């Protein structure tokens, strides 16, 4: 889901900003990870379909969309973060009612 979250969030935010080539690396990353577990290409494609569906459902959820928007605002301000800073930003984003 993580591999596909960026492109699905971009679609949710502004569908017109998504280009055909935008998601190639994201889908390739998800495909490569799934290839370790699936037994053939058909199984990989079925998993990809399921993961894409679950990712879209998560992003469409009002609660998760709020979290995604908060995190996006943080990373737009601070474009380069350490692992600890990223973890802190995610935790701040998860606080729905400060």
Joined together, the tokens standing for residue 36 give 């370790």
Query: What pLDDT sits at residue 21?
Result: 78
pLDDT exceeds 80 at position 7: yes
- For the stretch 8-32, pLDDT in tens is 888 888 888 888 777 888 889 988 9
* 3-state secondary structure at position 81: coil
Alpha helices in the chain, H assignment, sequence order? 2-13, 24-34, 41-60, 62-77, 83-94
User: pTM for the complete prediction?
Assistant: 0.75
Share of the chain above pLDDT 70, in %: 97
- For the stretch 66-85, pLDDT in tens is 989 998 999 899 888 999 99
Contact 92, 77 (CB under 8 A): no
Exposure string for 25-35, b = 16+ CB within 10 A, e = fewer: ebeeebbeebe
- Taking the domains of the chain in order of start, what are their residue ranges? 1-60, 62-98
């Amino acid at each position: 889901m993580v591999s596909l979250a960026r492109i699905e969030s971009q679609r949710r935010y502004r569908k017109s900003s998504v280009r055909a080539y935008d998601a190639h690396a994201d889908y390739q990353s998800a495909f490569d990870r799934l290839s370790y577990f699936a037994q053939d290409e058909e199984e990989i494609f079925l998993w990809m379909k399921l993961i894409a569906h679950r990712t879209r459902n998560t992003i469409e959820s009002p609660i998760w969309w709020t979290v995604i928007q908060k995190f996006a605002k943080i990373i737009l301000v601070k474009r380069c973060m350490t692992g600890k800073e990223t973890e802190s930003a995610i935790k701040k984003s998860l606080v729905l009612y400060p």
